[in-house]
Amino acid sequence: MALRRAVLQIIKKHGVASSVAVRHRSTNTERNILKSIYSDIPMTNETLCDYLWENLDRWPDKTATVCGLTGRGYTFAQTHRMSVSFAASLRSKLKLKDGDTVAVILPNVPEYPCVVVGILQAGCVVSPMNPLYTTEELKHQLKLIDCKAVVTSKLTHANVVESLKENNMNIPVILIDNEGLPEGTIKFAEFAEDLTVDIDCLKSVKRTADDVACIPFSSGTSGFPKGVELTHKSLVAANKSIALPEIVVVLETTATQQSAFTAVIPFFHIFGFCIQMINQLALGCKLVTLPYFKPDIYVKTIATYKTDALFIVPPIAVFLGKHPMVTSEHLSHVRAIIAGAAPLAKEDAEAVVSKNKNIIFRQGYGLTETCGSISVADNKDSNYASVGFVFSNSEVKIADVNTKKALGPGEEGEIWFRGPSLMKGYYKNEKATKEDITQDGWYKTGDIGKYDKKNYLYVTDRMKELIKVKGYQVAPAELETLIRLHPKIADCAVLGVPDQISGEVPKAFIVPFPGQEVKAEEVMEFVNGKVTSFKKIKHAQIVNEIPKTAAGKVLKRVLKEKYV
């Protein structure tokens, strides 16, 4: 009865309590569950758009986005107005409806937030995709989500058109470019800058916090990447957790102060989409967008815009810390850095801090399936080896690989996560959802880790066979599928091997058919023409056989011990 009264008081005080968090507390009797040290956050029923524009009146004339290459940019008021016009145009001119999915295939450009928020305000679902993907890669994703429109640029237009053609999909293609648009495309500005469009049509939009807002893609252990269903509620929960005073990266925006943030992590990546783009805009931060990482441009942009906060991936951390091009002067304005997407060595973090002792350097941990947020250290921490503490309202269990029982401090097992930022499931893939999420709500990350007596979480290895190339996930099974299309190949296996620059890169082990001669370079060329740059096989080796279990499962650990 006492617990029930406490729950009712929470509901009465905050309007809507987190049913997930309440259920976990009321049913959890298992020992050794790692809980958050951060205060709980009341869960609300606002949409992502509501959350993003909540404080618009505090900084309407501040710069929201600006291109680090050209200086082209928009204020928060302009971004809001354009997103509303874009949303109304999607509803009235393209006749899009609630729940329709729109693909966004763009590099980091100032218009990206306007595109995303406009799609959401139109009641649609946004699906961010890699603009460097090949026709073959885009074809799968566009078909899976039953795409109703595409927003892209001339950079990717040819691949998009070919993908749609091969899928027999006749849908609108919107380009953000202002000049030289191919025939049959729609100019983004004609939608976003149309002040005559009737915005009353947006009154018919009926979306709730429990509806899916975004479908990014996550590489699985088998086949092609899977669509991940992230709801408005899960994305808002993740962003509110990151914005806690003891965690937040940027300084509060005021009439006289605004943090600048160099945004080079791609917005199609969950780290770039949720934690870099949505979160920083919601806090009134200036996003300096870079469409690609080029060392001299990146360093110059940080210095020019006096960037005081950075989100980076391990290869960028290594570059900042160890490259002679980067001096203490370049980092003089930087106060805070968070590294994510893949584990970073303690020594690499220390190398960055050595160039500016005032930098607060932290590692964070999350996956696409958790809106990019599982844990992060507080903003006074200096434990560079850890990925910090579990976020508010959330829990982590270190599960014994065999028994699935929760392990205690110092013991390594698979990291399981449970909390409000967890995905709804894999899009149109109930089987994969049931495999990865337990009946009592635990998501099995596939990463190996541990925690210590101070509640710090550590990621030490991976159970899943995903290869992390510069922070991007590469599924060996996808590359293996392509290799087997080669007429001379009988069997193959792909695994990640260490690389000083990329962290890991794919290496293929190839068994030719009897009597067939094939060169490693031939197979690499055959596959690499079908995939984007970070998925390319960097090494290949001809072997006599692929070691397997009696059930036919590839023994990749044996393969690694024997050849790597």
Q: What is the pLDDT of residue 552?
A: 53
DSSP string, 214-283: E--EE--SSSSPEEEEEEHHHHHHHHHHHTSTTT--SPPP-SS---EEEE-S-TTSHIIIIIIIIHHHHT
Distance CA 416, CA 412 (A): 12
Q: What does the pLDDT average to over 416-426?
A: 97
> What integer pLDDT is reported at residue 490 of this predicted model?
83
pLDDT grade, residue 62 (50/70/90)? Answer: very high
Q: What pLDDT, on a 0 to 100 scale, did the predictor assign at position 26?
A: 32
pLDDT, average across residues 358-385:
91
SS3 state of residue 285? coil
Q: How confident is the model at residue 12 (pLDDT cuts 50, 70, 90)?
A: very low
Q: Quick one: pLDDT band at residue 379, thresholds 50, 70, 90?
A: confident
Spatial separation of the C-alpha atoms in residues 371 and 302, rounded to whole Å: 26
Beta-bridge partners for 35: 395
Average pLDDT over residues 62-66: 97
Q: What is the pLDDT of residue 8?
A: 35
Residue 242 · residue 275 · CB < 8 Å: yes
pLDDT of residue 141: 95
Is the per-residue pLDDT at 6 higher than 60?
A: no
Q: HEC profile for 135-188?
A: HHHHHHHHHHCCCCEEEECHHHHHHHHHHHHHCCCCCCEEECCCCCCCCCCEEH
Mean pLDDT of the residues in the chain: 88
Confidence class of residue 73 from pLDDT cuts 50, 70 and 90? very high
The pLDDT tens digits for 75-91 are 999 999 999 999 999 99
Mean pLDDT throughout 531-544? 92
Q: Of 481, 533, 543, give the one whose Cα is nearest residue 505.
A: 533
**Mean pLDDT, residues 34-46 taken together:** 91
Give the pairing of strands 425-426 and 33-35. unpaired
33-37, 236-240, 338-342, 542-546 — which is least confidently predicted? 338-342
Contacts of 557 (CB under 8 A, 6+ apart): none
Number of other CB atoms surrounding residue 551 within 10 Å: 5
Q: What does the pLDDT average to over 526-550?
A: 87
Identify which has the larger pLDDT, 332 or 67. Answer: 67
Q: What does the block give as tokens for 484?
A: 């087997």
**pLDDT at residue 1 tops 70:** no
Q: Which CATH number applies to 71-207: 3.40.50.980, 3.40.50.620, 2.70.150.10, 3.30.2350.10?
A: 3.40.50.980
Task: Read off the tokens for 469.
Answer: 């190339």
The whole-number pLDDT of residue 319 equals: 85
Q: Is it the case that residue 519 has pLDDT exceeding 60?
A: yes
The Cβ-side half-sphere exposure at 235, using a 13 Å CA radius, reads 35
Q: What is the mean pLDDT of residues 510-524?
A: 89
- Measured CA to CA, the distance from residue 34 to residue 398 in angstroms comes to 8
First to last CA, the chain: 60
Higher pLDDT, 476 or 120: 120
pLDDT digits (tens, 9 = 90+) for 136-191: 889 999 999 999 999 999 999 999 999 999 999 999 999 999 888 999 999 999 99
pLDDT value, residue 402: 84
Q: What is the pLDDT of residue 22?
A: 33
- Chain segment 246-275, per-residue pLDDT in tens: 998 888 899 899 999 999 999 999 999 998
Enter the DSSP assignment of 554: B
Q: How much is the average pLDDT of 421-449?
A: 93
> What's the pLDDT at 464?
67
Compute CA distances 14 → 19, 20, 42, 54, 488, whole Å: 12, 15, 6, 17, 64
Within 10 A of 22 (CB to CB), how many other CB atoms are there? 17
Distance CA 362, CA 335 (A): 11
* Nearest residue to 231 via CA among 391, 417, 424, 437: 424
Place of tokens 């009946």: 439
Stretch 306-335: mean pLDDT:
87
CA pair distance 237, 41, nearest whole angstrom: 8
Domain boundaries, the chain: 71-207, 467-563
pLDDT at position 455 is: 94
How large a percentage of the chain has pLDDT more than 70?
A: 92
CATH classification for the domain delimited by 467-563, as one of 3.30.1490.20, 3.40.50.2000, 3.40.1280.10, 3.30.300.30: 3.30.300.30
- Where is average pLDDT lowest: 39-43, 66-70, 425-429? 39-43
Neighbours of 409 (CB within 10 A): 14
Residue 557 pLDDT level (bands cut at 50, 70, 90): confident
